[in-house]
Amino acid sequence: MSDGVPIPGYFKTDSFGELNMWMDSNEKAPLLNVHCVQAIPAANQTITPPSFLLSGYGTSSKYTSLDILQRWLFIHRKSLEQNVRIIGFSTDADNKYMRAMRLMSGFYASMPHFSPQADSSAFSTQIGNWSWFYLRPEQLFLFIQDATHLVTKLRNRMLSRTADLRIGDANITIEHLQQIIDDSKTTKLDHRLTQTDIKPSDRQNFRSCLRITSSDVLYLLACQPGADGTRMYLQLIKLIITSYIEPETSIEERVKGAWTAVFLLRLWWVWLLLVRLLSLSSSKLNAHFLTYLVLLVQQQQLPLESLNIHLFSSQTCESVFRSTRSMSGVFSTVVNCTVDNFLKRSNKLSILNTIKSNNKSTSVLKFPIHHKHSHDNKTINNRTLIDVSNLNVERVVQQAYQSASSITESLNISYLLKKHNVFHMDALSEYLNEHLKFKSRLHDNIQILESQNNESDSEFDLDSDGDDEGSST
């Protein structure tokens, strides 16, 4: 790589001896990294434009957060040359990408020798005197961690046999869901749960996240003694799904749900700090950047259509991986492929996506669409988006805090928080802000073009679940 950017055709030769030397002395890339682009729908466009593959290359994951930063800047500069403005990037919760996001956004991180917010194309918005908002007003990119990865990781943590989760006097455990399944007074029609939904080995089962957070399951947990902690945890997962994944959610509901989840985590985190237990692993950027995006639209720096939040994810990359692997022959048991084969398959996918996107136009060829997928590419109704112009963000966030405090009311953590005068929204946010300023160790003094080997980020590190096949952006 050169400045974080892969060199095309670097390992290309006509000499068998040189090829043999490479195979013997160089490490072969076991993983594939791809970059996909999702365009914003045009005004009054009812069908989401299909995403497309920007680049794909083999990797050994031996790159740093600095390489990721340089890669993002390279894509940004090349896009501007084509009159295309990259709004932001979405990835899974990998530590290196999380570190790169914090460095680029200045979220309790600093790079004294590089200021991305000083770029002439950077966004700038007017932010009120909000104690609960930790993001600076100037941003070159917006970042959202892929919500699908986030909720599956939260589910996996609850399903873990070794993790001991509790809040206040309540335990968070999978046993409460097991009791619902085993209860002879209820049937599958009452909760729709199966043993597969609480199986720890199935680490990427997003459908399970939808079922364990259904209204029926939450109601049954509310009727179950001692299950308040598990119910709160599942409500947290449901809020993330509603705020970032479901396409029909209104902008006001997205902002309220996102900040309700944040305040739940803040209340939980501060309680853990006060009782001297381990702190939560990461403070999510998603709610901050969602609010920042809403402010940019309100101030007419971005079009309304950029608020199709469910498109702001790395699931397009996951879809490309799944589709290319499914293109293996029916008589082949090998689903993996080389980088060259992947690029060839992606060209076929591009043709198929073009046909699908033009299927309802004047194209001569018409392909049937299963009724389950007939609404997959629908955009948000413009009437829902127009409401954002009159949205009072501060009022919605205050309502979110009231919702979060009411959810934790039965968990016996408010007494300790009130005792230390950190229960109210402003006091809680200011306390946590000072804690993060003191504890955050992410400080980068190097030049942007120099190498970086220190990837330590103890306060915000995410546990690796080992559930990703390759890096995706």
What is the full per-residue pLDDT of the chain (473 aa) written as tens digits?
676 787 777 778 888 888 888 888 888 788 888 899 988 887 777 777 888 888 888 888 788 888 899 999 999 999 999 999 999 999 887 888 888 998 999 888 888 888 888 889 999 998 889 999 999 999 999 999 889 988 998 999 888 878 788 898 889 999 999 999 999 888 888 999 988 888 878 788 899 999 999 999 999 999 999 999 999 999 999 999 999 999 888 899 999 999 999 999 999 988 888 765 443 444 468 999 999 999 999 998 998 888 888 888 888 888 887 788 777 766 666 667 778 888 888 888 887 777 766 655 555 666 666 555 555 555 555 555 557 888 899 999 999 999 999 998 888 898 889 999 999 999 999 998 888 888 765 666 555 544 344 444 433 444 444 444 444 44
Write down the number of H helices and E strands in the chain.
17, 8
- Beta strand extents in 60-156 (DSSP E only): 88-91, 123-124, 138-139, 142-145
Which helix (H) or strand (E) segment is 165 a member of? strand 165-167
Q: What are the angstrom distances between the C-alpha of 18 and each of 238, 254, 264?
A: 55, 56, 58
CB 124, CB 137: distance < 8 Å: yes
The one-letter amino acid at 42:
A
**What span, in angstroms and rounded, lies between the C-alpha atoms of 306 and 312?**
9
* Whole-number pLDDT of residue 288: 92
User: Is residue 32 helix, strand or coil?
Assistant: strand
- Give me 304's structure tokens: 């309304």
Q: What are the start-end ranges of the H helices in 85-224? A: 95-105, 147-159, 175-182, 188-191, 206-212, 215-222
User: Is residue 84 helix, strand or coil?
Assistant: coil
- Give me 285's structure tokens: 């950027």
* Whole-number pLDDT of residue 289: 92
**In 3D, which of 304, 265, 316, 317 has the Cα closest to residue 287?**
265
**In 3D, which of 95, 101, 73, 85 has the Cα closest to residue 37?**
85
* Whole-number pLDDT of residue 111: 84
Parallel/antiparallel/unpaired status of strands 142-145 and 165-167: unpaired
**In 3D, which of 425, 141, 123, 147 has the Cα closest to residue 286?**
147
Sign of the alpha-carbon dihedral angle for 51, 56, 60, 64: negative
The one-letter amino acid at 379:
T
Residue carrying structure tokens 């390992």: 11
Cα 42 to its chain centre, rounded Å, is 24
**What span, in angstroms and rounded, lies between the C-alpha atoms of 428 and 350?**
49
Which helix (H) or strand (E) segment is 280 a member of? none
| β-bridge partners, 145 | 91
∠ CA 27-31-460, rounded to 5° = 105
User: Is residue 52 helix, strand or coil?
Assistant: strand
∠ CA 407-408-410, rounded to 5° = 100
CB 247, CB 378: distance < 8 Å: yes
* Whole-number pLDDT of residue 465: 47
Distance from the first to the final alpha carbon of the chain: 17
C-alpha R_g of the chain: 23
- Give me 406's structure tokens: 């009411």
* Whole-number pLDDT of residue 358: 65
CB 34, CB 472: distance < 8 Å: yes
**What span, in angstroms and rounded, lies between the C-alpha atoms of 46 and 54?**
24
* Residue 391: partners with Cβ closer than 8 Å, 6 or more residues away: 251, 252, 255, 294, 298
Going by the DSSP 8-state scheme, the letter that residue 364 receives in this structure is S
* Residue 297: partners with Cβ closer than 8 Å, 6 or more residues away: 303, 304, 306, 307, 388
Residue carrying structure tokens 């237990």: 277
Buried b (16+ CB within 10 A) or exposed e, 249-270: bbbbbbbbbbbbbbbbbbbbbb
CB 272, CB 280: distance < 8 Å: yes
**What span, in angstroms and rounded, lies between the C-alpha atoms of 463 and 150?**
12
